[in-house]
Chain A
């Protein structure tokens, strides 16, 4: 029997289950115990299916005993952001409008994870309709396990908090402007926003630049989940029909001599907190130790691309809610309902302008990588070390917390947040790598090399 299996990485758990050293039932029970112990305090998960998870785990164990071939994720558990439908489980988007809703089908990305053997143990808390959290939300915001006096950064806040507290093997979030990479950074986790179209967006509505993404304790965990999620979905008109390389089989790479660009002038123009920059410089030093060549570059259009991303998000959001804000205004949270109206003030020309700017930035950024022969660029994940700072009036409305992340939603480039240390409040800070379209593998390889050379994934919150 393996002691405290919930503390192991997803890849270790999956290996031990395949080998028979750990049963899926033991792992699920370990996660259930952790949820029972910590979730009442942290509020990371807003629905838990212990019975269903144990039943599925028993089926995995029976299949192994019969000598059947197990999927790569057989027996590991997932917490899924409650914006993504999981058959038979709550699907509230943390709104009273959907308090009693449960979907009939899984989102295709979830179906693929289940096909690989993963067990969904619960739905993770989030900001109502990806907006600004308040205590009056259907489920109050989760607390960060690294400092339970502080709120978790969102909008995939529960996905970050649940995994940091080891309530599941991995988690799934949705990133429309940074909502996976930001919580990954703030919870000492790896979180990748894949190239647009690799993972079907079916299930999260018409948010054209929002991606369903995995968060993992290690880079390898993240790669394993992503590998299970990707693939062409004919029903999704934005789904990528081309070939996708195997991530986990190719995760080991010699990254020596890889060129990584650092947009210093842009980074210096943002209100980075000192501990963010301290973590970022250590991250760059570690890349240098791995043999990477760090190159100063100039980047343009980050502010414009961020604006284009948010205008598109505002429009998508209002379009979906245009009828219910009229009829059910008082059922919405008082923060999200006002935020949802922003898109109502845009003209069709404004939206087309934003699309054109996004396409221009997409082309420009790919050319920038090519021109400088870069595998990617490195930035902090967020300028801020706490959720409170990122939600400060004025800065939140300008999307300052997403100044590094949001440009790459409209451009569609892959982007991964990796752990980079801790701030004064004990909250983790992240660093981010962004690479060429459809070269997600290089980012995963680089993150994996960094993961192997650091000890962030061995640290757990003392709670």
Chain B
């Protein structure tokens, strides 16, 4: 995911919808969650020619253990 900072998220958001300032705060919270999900997915991607190693997947709800 290429949107790493609040400024980048706000700039993108302004491009796609006429958000108010009040809309931005919940959006930033949500996009933080989306970014965590995307990073989690990326961390599982194999080297070229490999397959996803399920044994490296998490055992808990937060995906961090």
Return B16 CB to nearest CB of chain A, in Å: 5
Please report whether the interface of chain B is mostly helix, strand, loop or mixed according to DSSP: helix
A361 to B55, CA, bound (A): 11
B48 contacts partner chain A, Cβ-Cβ < 8 Å: no
Given contact pairs A325-B16, A347-B1, A397 touches B52 in the complex (Cβ within 8 A) = no
> Across the interface, do A397 and B30 meet the contact criterion of CB distance under 8 Å?
yes
- Please indicate the chain A residues that have their CB under 8 angstroms from the CB of B5 in the complex: none
Return A446 CB to nearest CB of chain B, in Å: 25
> Across the interface, do B55 and A338 meet the contact criterion of CB distance under 8 Å?
no
- Please indicate the chain B residues that have their CB under 8 angstroms from the CB of A271 in the complex: 61
Q: Which of A21-29, A92-100, A352-360, A453-461 contacts B (4 or more CB under 8 A)?
A: A352-360
Interface residues of B in 18-51 (CB under 8 A from A): 18-19, 22-23, 26-27, 29-31, 33-38, 40-42, 44-45, 51
The range of chain A's interface size is: 35 or more
A361 to B26, CA, bound (A): 31
Interface set of A (CB-CB < 8 Å, partner B)? 265-266, 269-271, 298-304, 307-308, 310-311, 314, 322, 325-326, 329, 334, 337-339, 341-342, 344-347, 350, 353-354, 356-357, 360-361, 363-364, 393-394, 397-398, 400, 403
A360 to B26, CA, bound (A): 32
> Across the interface, do A266 and B61 meet the contact criterion of CB distance under 8 Å?
yes
* CB pairs A–B below 8 angstroms (25 shown): A266-B59, A269-B59, A301-B57, A303-B60, A304-B63, A307-B36, A307-B37, A308-B41, A325-B16, A329-B17, A337-B17, A337-B23, A338-B23, A338-B27, A338-B30, A345-B1, A346-B34, A346-B38, A350-B41, A353-B45, A354-B37, A354-B41, A357-B52, A394-B29, A397-B33
- Please indicate the chain A residues that have their CB under 8 angstroms from the CB of B38 in the complex: 311, 346, 350, 353
A229 to B17, CA, bound (A): 38
- Please indicate the chain B residues that have their CB under 8 angstroms from the CB of A397 in the complex: 29-30, 33
A5 to B36, CA, bound (A): 51
> Across the interface, do B23 and A334 meet the contact criterion of CB distance under 8 Å?
yes
> Across the interface, do B52 and A356 meet the contact criterion of CB distance under 8 Å?
yes
A71 to B52, CA, bound (A): 48
Q: Which of A266, A325, A346, A360 contacts B1 (CB 8 A)?
A: A346
Please report whether the interface of chain A is mostly helix, strand, loop or mixed according to DSSP: helix
Return A281 CB to nearest CB of chain B, in Å: 19
Known: A308-B41, A311-B34, A354-B41. 20 other contacts (CB 8 A): A266-B60, A300-B59, A303-B60, A307-B40, A307-B41, A314-B34, A325-B17, A326-B18, A337-B17, A341-B17, A345-B34, A353-B42, A356-B45, A357-B44, A360-B51, A360-B52, A364-B54, A393-B29, A397-B29, A398-B33
- Please indicate the chain A residues that have their CB under 8 angstroms from the CB of B33 in the complex: 397-398
> Across the interface, do A329 and B58 meet the contact criterion of CB distance under 8 Å?
no
A393 to B32, CA, bound (A): 13
Return A177 CB to nearest CB of chain B, in Å: 13
- By beta carbon, the residue of chain A nearest B38 is A350
- By beta carbon, the residue of chain B nearest A304 is B57
> Across the interface, do B16 and A310 meet the contact criterion of CB distance under 8 Å?
no
Return B53 CB to nearest CB of chain A, in Å: 9
Return B20 CB to nearest CB of chain A, in Å: 9
Given contact pairs A307-B37, A334-B23, A341-B13, A299 touches B59 in the complex (Cβ within 8 A) = yes
- By beta carbon, the residue of chain A nearest B46 is A356
